[in-house]
Structure 1
């Protein structure tokens, strides 16, 4: 939770916040994650606007993953940018909005008094910044499809004979004798 009292409700006022938070639950995809209990540094800019408070920020942290080609563990820096508008809570008398606007309310974030909860916004930004197919290096050759050995360690002479896939054998016989049909 971030307190916005110092910001006031006057449009145009702005303040910056730098904070380190602990991840309450793992932010993860299939191959990468920011583990529970890890720290993330937040650089935030809070701006009061007519509708509420505009939060622009960057989350810096460290992700853990497995290379999608060779399955080696890796750890690298993560940076996730985000921007979200937290609306002031509207009273029933003040809101002159129609019923059409009611559907949009579910997608909006609202201030809780003078506090804003950045948890869901940070979680979404970090998860979207996680790589879907992390690599230990851009030239990682991966694993051998036949025996599973890491090709970077196997050497250039690694092979398994002719190794023609039996499913292609019928096409090979046609290619060797094109007149036979």
Structure 2
């Protein structure tokens, strides 16, 4: 009886990523659907591509009680922003990842026979979705984001976007071995008698 009072007196769950599994119960086969929007600014690859300020992740999940714990399946979707790694143009993309994660009950066979980082765990009847969702989204992001697969990037000489400069764009380069002669005699390659 005192154990029941202690559980009922427990403070409410804190944080949008935390789900209390007490209302699911431990009877294998029971399930519960969760739809939730959680703030996620900065989630992604920092300074490359990530959820922008004020951004969020939409969670559409099913929690199922199984013998060894709670199986979480569903999707997480968000919008990420960054810049093209070739031409530096801003870009935005929608990302949706599939989730399947077992959260092991304390003292279950899975809990006792796996290393700490091999399986997620239920702590005080709570599961923390953030690490699993964060890892899944980061793994789905391109490490080298591109505005388009055929992006040509920037001109190495003037910094202009090659797609905008056209096929005739170019810069005259002088062989460094001739540059000293040009400086000494003062002409240019186009007009050697300028001096």
Q: Which residue, 125, 140, 147 being the options, matches 1:136?
A: 147
Q: Which moved further from structure 2: 135-144 or 60-69?
A: 135-144
TM-score under structure 1 length normalisation? 0.77
- What SS does the aligned partner of 2:147 have? coil
Tell me which stretches of 4 or more aligned residues in structure 1 moved more than 3 Å: 163-167
Is there any run of 5+ residues in structure 2 with no aligned partner, and where? 1-17, 178-195
Q: Is 1:156 matched up with 2:173?
A: no
RMSD over aligned Cα atoms: 2.5
Gaps of 5+ in 1: 168-181
* Greater RCO structure (CA 8 Å; 6+ sep): 1
Q: CA deviation digits over 1:127-153, x for unaligned, max 9?
A: 111211111122221111222210011
State the partner residue of 2:156: 145
* Contact 1:11–1:49 (Cα < 8 Å) also in 2: yes
Task: Name the TM-score, length of structure 2 as normaliser.
Answer: 0.72
8 Å Cα contact 2:38-2:58 kept in structure 1: yes
Kindly tell me the number of residue pairs found equivalent between the two proteins: 159
Cα distance in 1 for residues equivalent to 2:117 and 2:133? 18
- Give 1:61-76 correspondences, 5 Å limit: 61-76=78-93
Partners of 2:135 and 2:176 in 1: CA distance = 46
Confirm whether residue 82 of structure 1 aligns to residue 99 of structure 2: yes
